[in-house]
Chains A and B, each alone.
Chain A
Amino acid sequence: MKASVIVFPGSNCDRDVQVALEKFQIATTMVWHQETELPKSDLVVLPGGFSYGDYLRCGSMASKSKIMKEVIKYAGTGGYVFGICNGFQILTEAGLLPGALLRNNKLKFICKDVQIKTINNQTAFTKKISEHKILTVPIAHNEGNYFASKEEIQSLKDNNQIVFQYCDKEGNISGESNPNGSFLNIAGIVNKNKNVLGMMPHPERVIDQLLGGTDGQEIFRSLL
């Protein structure tokens, strides 16, 4: 299996996700944002970071970069695209996923472990996770407060596009377990065709017990 990780100026989780992919024997190519062609890939990853310094709006400038034209084409033909954190923000800015990520409701950057509940385990990204399984995965963002219009939210629900929701250790999806003010505690969604996933938590940071957890492995294992 082959993956391409897109590197924008300001990406900073590109190496982390490469390490994670390679841990699962997924051959990884780093692709510079100014490339106009995507290498033959089974998966494209948009990593976390601060592409273009988060200037203008998070993900906005990256969504207009040269390589993104190719990524959009690739997604259009059913190719798998996985955006983590800033990658999720880029996907919404590029129109590959609905909604937007606003500033955290408490207006502070938050880096900590949170629990997320697997709502849809029927996607290529989650197929090896048991239904409703609670994963402990860290978040690290300033703008992870998911927002979408009423119609978009209805459509997400109707098409089973909500993949992860923030919850507590018992799996309760509540205001207390919502770290950033996300609508419906949304932590990750897919597009209608289920081939594009965006999520704010960082599964690539929990693939090693020594670093505090292995729940992220379940997502990478699903990709195989």
Chain B
Amino acid sequence: MELTTVDQAKQLGLTESEFDKIKELIGRIPNFTELGIFSAMWNEHCSYKSSRVWLSKLPTKNKYVVQGPGENAGVIDIGDDDVAIFKIESHNHPSFIEPYQGAATGVGGILRDVFTMGARPIANLNSIRFGKPEHPKTKHLLNGVVSGIAGYGNCMGIPTVGGEVEFDECYDGNILVNAMNIGLAKKNKVFLSIASGVGNPVIYVGSKTGRDGIHGASMASQEFDDNSEAKKPTVQVGDPFAEKLLLEACLELMKTDTIISIQDMGAAGLTSSSVEMASKGKLGIEIDLNKVPCRETEMQPFELMLSESQERMLIVLKEGKEKEAEKIFKKWDLDFSVIGKMTNSKNLVLHFNKEIVCDIPITSLADEAPKYNREWISTPLPEEINIDKKLNDLDIKDCLVKLLTHPNQSNKSWVWEQYDHMVMGDTIQKPGGDAAVVRVHGTNKAIAATVDCTPRYCFAHPHTGGMQAVCETYRNLSAVGAEPRAITNCLNFGNPEKKEIMGQLVEVIKGMSEACLALDYPVISGNVSLYNETNGVGIKPTPTIGGVGLIQDSNKSTTISIKATGNLLLIIGETKGHIHQSALCYDILHIKKGPPPTINLAEEKKNSFFVRDLINKKIALSVHDISDGGIALTIAEMCMSGKIGANITTNLIDAERIKFLFGEDQARYVIEVKSADYDNIVKLAKEKEVSLLQIGSTKAENLTIDDMKITVEDMLTLNNKWFHNYNSN
């Protein structure tokens, strides 16, 4: 067998010192297949070599966590022996190269992570970020990604119930596609990837293996340049129909007593799935590559091991259960092949054409993978600048209209109406609110879920931005009346070999940790996507957080829609008028300096409990958290959603009024209540030391803020037009 060189190692994305380490670990020079396997396991995407040191600092436990990070997805208890299983994952690099397939297989991958664990997926969410709308590629990428997400999720029959869409020039050369899925299972029916039992058969099921996606995980661990389009062959091709069959077949198999462990073939395909199962079980694994079902002819060991063909699973069965399992997969017209067995050699041994083509210790691939404590520098908190002069000249209506028509704040129904958000018949709150609400089938409880991040805050001050992203999901869940239970995270950053970027990652993780700890809201799963750079320019740090909460009684949940005229509108939480880094400053005035709003974790917690209590008592009739665009845009959205107006009085003028209306102080909500309940609410707020301000009342047709007036209908027209206009020509 031909031995490899350091140049080949470099071509596969390994460094010279990593190549030396491989030689040292196995005591010889690896052959080409072995080197490929090392490069796949040791790339950033699979090994987390730059982030592991820091990820370990994230809180991962509270009383609800059944399974934290390290498995295919995290698991939390939602009562009555039910568990929710969820995770978010990036598919950024493939989606930029081939938006439809990249996004589609992103959805497919996250679905497999969830149903591998025994859950029936019940809700898809996603966070997608594109470059500026004027960029020549943006329209093509937006349309491709949205169709791809729709194409896969709709065919699977799993509702896509929430997400976020944002445009910012920092994503011109590196779009972000983060897909999240939540599934449900019974607590005693959760399946893990820990293999056991020497001699137990290793089974390959699902679609056949082709040459698509070879080295996809390595591509996802590299920067882009002008020739990135040449990487198209590394993008996988999705077949949601095959995945639907695989889902049903796996769930059917899981009802039998045949499975020891199960692992989907995601990034780095057969390599990572076999190594992970063996590594976790502290066993060896032996595979006969001639038994792998192939879609193409003359596939070589290197290709078979590194292909990222979709819709495939690796299962360790109890010995003698092969026939029983095979029958189920045949029923669903899927491939089923016994390709190997678990061994006590502790090595990954691959046979091909009666030769051993790979024989390396599992520990060298997994535990011994490089771990870097990379150099980093912290981003200092930017100083406040005085922009009062500029703000003095602003007209409220003009600001509001500009926000309503800005792509980032426009109504996103053009996007989510392409997603089937109702299939499975349990969607209580569809996209467009603060969080999606999906009923647990056959019960009266519901899961609430949201995905959020504010990259402009993270860029200005990563530490605050990390905290804020966690808090925003916490707030969005609270706003629908859910108790926030845990999060999943997708950390999208630039090149960690640069000190500033590594510093962003470190500070964001530190900020997230503080928030998770204070809110008792741990991280249970996630992934890291680094090297989001093109021609040396990185994206803004984007830690996408997926939050999941529980609603005990589906009838006690709220929406953002104003329910009736003649009610009061109250602000929960203190308004200081922090205007720096606001949507108004950033997107409309293009003032990008200054610090993001401060986070007060105690306030976050207190205000959330207060709002949830009011929802639970059915006193809060509608609730909307205050985020982008401040009080003004928040109330405008409540008016548009309920098709009812409001009357707001500020008693302020000039810059102070602009800051009050458009500032983005955190931990705040707008709630609608009956005026008869007001005194009682004031009393409750005093008791709980919650800041409360009556800001106006609801009324028909118009939104009036002091002397400004706009009809709800006009706001709807303005807010609805951008996506349709942008995509219709």
- Chain B 400-418 interface 0/1 with A at a Cβ cutoff of 8 Å (1 = within): 0000000000000100111
Interchain CB contact under 8 A, B423 and A109: no
CA distance A10 to B420 in the complex (A): 15
Interchain CB contact under 8 A, B423 and A16: yes
Interchain CB contact under 8 A, B423 and A13: yes
CB contacts (< 8 Å) of A20 on chain B: these are 425
Interchain CB contact under 8 A, B332 and A211: no
- Chain A 38-63 interface 0/1 with B at a Cβ cutoff of 8 Å (1 = within): 00000000001110111100000000
**When the two chains form the complex, which single residue of A16, A108, A109, A111 contacts B425, counting CB atoms closer than 8 Å?**
A16
Query: In which size bucket is the chain A interface?
Result: 20 to 34
- For residue A13, give the distance in angstroms from its CB to the closest CB of chain B: 6
**When the two chains form the complex, which single residue of B418, B427, B555 contacts A108, counting CB atoms closer than 8 Å?**
B418
CA distance A14 to B156 in the complex (A): 13
- For residue B556, give the distance in angstroms from its CB to the closest CB of chain A: 11
Interchain CB contact under 8 A, A111 and B421: yes
- For residue A61, give the distance in angstroms from its CB to the closest CB of chain B: 11
Chain A residue with minimal CB distance to B444?
A210
**When the two chains form the complex, which single residue of B156, B421, B426, B439 contacts A12, counting CB atoms closer than 8 Å?**
B156
CA distance A26 to B24 in the complex (A): 69
Interchain CB contact under 8 A, B425 and A9: no
CA distance A52 to B639 in the complex (A): 44
CB contacts (< 8 Å) of A205 on chain B: these are 422-423, 425
Stretch touching chain A among B15-23, B239-247, B478-486, B625-633: B239-247
How many residues of chain B get a CB closer than 8 Å to chain A's CBs? 33
- For residue A178, give the distance in angstroms from its CB to the closest CB of chain B: 15
CB contacts (< 8 Å) of A10 on chain B: these are 155, 241, 244-245
- For residue A129, give the distance in angstroms from its CB to the closest CB of chain B: 21
- For residue B725, give the distance in angstroms from its CB to the closest CB of chain A: 14
CB contacts (< 8 Å) of B333 on chain A: these are 9
CB contacts (< 8 Å) of B419 on chain A: these are 109, 111
Any B CB within 8 A of the CB of A15: yes
Interchain CB contact under 8 A, A53 and B239: yes
CA distance A48 to B154 in the complex (A): 11
Interchain CB contact under 8 A, A53 and B157: no
Any B CB within 8 A of the CB of A140: yes
Question: Which 7 pairs, one residue from A and one from B, show the smallest C-beta to C-beta distance?
Answer: A12-B157, A53-B241, A16-B425, A50-B155, A140-B420, A111-B420, A112-B417
**Interface residues in chain B, defined as those with a beta carbon under 8 Å from any beta carbon in chain A:** 147, 150-151, 154-157, 239-242, 244-245, 332-333, 413, 416-428, 430, 439, 554-555
26 CB contacts below 8 A, A to B, read A9-B241, A9-B245, A9-B332, A10-B155, A12-B156, A12-B244, A12-B423, A15-B424, A50-B155, A50-B157, A50-B244, A54-B155, A109-B418, A109-B420, A111-B420, A111-B421, A112-B413, A138-B422, A140-B154, A205-B422, A205-B425, A208-B425, A210-B428, A211-B422, A211-B428, A211-B439
**Interface residues in chain A, defined as those with a beta carbon under 8 Å from any beta carbon in chain B:** 9-10, 12-13, 15-16, 19-20, 48-50, 52-55, 108-112, 138, 140, 142, 202, 204-205, 208, 210-212
